Amino acid sequence: MRVLVTGGAGFIGSHVVDRLIAKNFEVAVIDDLTSGTLDNLSDRAQFFQQDICDPEAAHTIKYFKPEVIIHTAAQMSVSESMKNPLNDVRVNVQGTINLLNALDKNNFPFFVFISTGGALYGEQDVFPAPEDHEIRPTSVYGQSKAVVEQYLALWKRVYGLNYAVLRLANVYGPRQNPHGEAGVVAIFLKKLLSGEIPTINGTGHFTRDYVNVLDVVSAIEKVIERKLSNTFNIGTGIETSVNELYQEILKAGNFEIQANYGPQRAGDQERSVITSARARDLLDWSPKLDLASGLQDTYRWFASQQ
């Protein structure tokens, strides 16, 4: 099977590529290396250094003729989306439409869109939130993902696109980029391993649902096996506060550095946790890695990179 992965040199994308290569799929990667790195990427994947917004990316799709597209490329920082909303819309919305417009409408690939469960639902009424929870994001990032989901639904209605949406909880694990403001686990570990004092935004009582990247890859693998056109939450259903997360990270690396506290970030919501019951029932998927074990693996990887 020919599979194209956008953002395939990045955090989630590179783990997906590894799994596909292990299954002997023919894999092509589009990545502009804004946050990804070639060090993450298997040399068995065809690599195209391209921006998903540019015509060259559309040409690559027409050249490679993928049977499956896994679209992980994105502007992924909530805080950056609030500072520079036009760039968030350019990458997340216009970039996706550029890819969709390049598809052969007589022979669509199966399209997997990596969306967000954390930022899409906004301040929740139900904990954990199911897929039919009202969509009311509090950030430009969450809004851009919601808009892309609507474009996918349009392509299905008008052209017959078969696609799946995976709404991810807060993903962590090896290869996560600690630069910028996305990926709190990576940011904390990078600072702790450098002997710096991390800063917790706000009081640290905000909660998130932390899911390991390898569990996310397993969900993607299952959805492309079944090619089910549906929307799936991919998370653990467990709320963890930033303060609790930080204490778990200290345990994972035997650190004794207490964090500083700073101002709350614009666009951050108080509680975020999602239920993956639909993925369990239809994909036979459930998370395998608990937070403590996942953080230990993540710590070991970051320590090896120092």
pLDDT of residue 182: 63
pLDDT of residue 269: 84
Chain segment 261-300, per-residue pLDDT in tens: 999 877 678 999 999 999 999 999 999 999 999 999 999 9
- DSSP, res 93: I
Question: How do strand 2-6 and strand 68-71 relate by DSSP bridges?
Answer: parallel
The Cα 204–Cα 261 span in angstroms is 8
CB 85 within 8 A of CB 137: no
pLDDT of residue 301: 97
Find the angle CA(119)-CA(233)-CA(128) to the nearest 5 degrees. 75
The Cα 80–Cα 87 span in angstroms is 9
pLDDT of residue 180: 57
The Cα 272–Cα 41 span in angstroms is 31
Chain segment 204-236, per-residue pLDDT in tens: 999 999 999 999 999 999 999 999 999 999 999
The Cα 148–Cα 113 span in angstroms is 9
pLDDT of residue 181: 55
CB 11 within 8 A of CB 213: yes
- Say yes or no to pLDDT of 250 above 70: yes
CB 137 within 8 A of CB 128: no
Overall average pLDDT of the 193-204 stretch: 96
Active-site option among 141, 163, 246, 299: 141
- Residue 33 CA from chain centroid, whole number: 16
The Cα 292–Cα 121 span in angstroms is 26
User: CA 257, 263, 265, 271 torsion: positive or negative?
Assistant: positive
Overall average pLDDT of the 185-199 stretch: 96
Instruction: Provide, rounded to the nearest whole percent, the portion of the chain with pLDDT above 70.
Output: 98
Confidence of residue 98 (pLDDT cuts 50, 70, 90): very high
Instruction: Provide, rounded to the nearest whole percent, the portion of the chain with pLDDT above 90.
Output: 93
The better pLDDT of the pair 111, 181 is held by 111
> Tokens 């998903």, residue?
52
Kindly state the tokens that stand for 289. 């890695």
Chain segment 99-151, per-residue pLDDT in tens: 999 999 999 999 999 999 989 999 999 999 999 999 999 999 999 999 999 99
> Tokens 């679209």, residue?
71
Does residue 141 carry a catalytic annotation?
yes
